[in-house]
Amino acid sequence: MIARALPRIVAQALPRMVAVTLIASATALLSGCSGSLIADHMPAAVGGLPEDTPPRPAVDGPYPAVHNMPPARSTAPLSYDQQKQLEDDLVAARNRYGGTPDTPAATGSTADAPATTGSTAKAKAGSARNP
């Protein structure tokens, strides 16, 4: 008896389910188009823009040129020898003014002195487990 009534119930409910699905889809599509306009006119207390928000520009700005290639370089990139010379100059300047960042300064400080900014001398100091 139940087996005979089931197809009839499904046949009666199918048009209702299709109608509800179409209405829900149309509502979702239409509400997506007007979301920014609604937020402009809602009070701030219910999720709108704050009162001190500047007005929207009348004309949208141009899109950035994301597919344009940058212009050709006016100078050639550094050769290997030039890059090596530049690195050596930077190392010499670092050693002259601040020493190496991995070791404490040579001013008589001990190994227990706090590490300077950027130092990797105590790399595992923060890895100890908290109690």
User: Which residues span the domain enclosing 6?
Assistant: 2-46
Rg of the Cα trace of the chain? 34
* 54 within a domain of the structure (yes/no): no
64 in any annotated domain: no
Closest CA to 116 of 130, 97, 88: 97
Q: How many CA atoms lie less than 13 Å away from 97 in the CB half-sphere?
A: 6
Of the given ranges (12-16, 82-86, 107-111), which has the lowest mean pLDDT? 107-111
Question: Is 75 within the bounds of a domain?
Answer: no
Write down the pLDDT at residue 82.
95
On whether the CB atoms of residues 104 and 121 are closer than 8 A, the answer is yes
Work out how many domains the chain is built from and give that number.
1
Distances (CA, A) of 59 to 33, 34, 55, 56, 71: 19, 18, 12, 9, 29
Six-digit token pair at 38? 């609604």
Query: Does residue 115 register a pLDDT over 90?
Result: no
The rounded distance, in Å, linking the Cα atoms of 8 and 15 is: 12
Say if 66 falls within a structural domain: no
In a domain, 15, yes or no: yes
pTM as predicted: 0.27
Q: What percent of the chain has pLDDT over 70?
A: 62
Q: Kindly indicate the confidence band of residue 21, based on its pLDDT and cuts at 50, 70 and 90.
A: very high
User: What pLDDT, on a 0 to 100 scale, did the predictor assign at position 37?
Assistant: 63
The pLDDT of 64-69, averaged and rounded, is 84
Question: CB within 8 A of 39, min separation 6: which ones?
Answer: 47, 48, 49
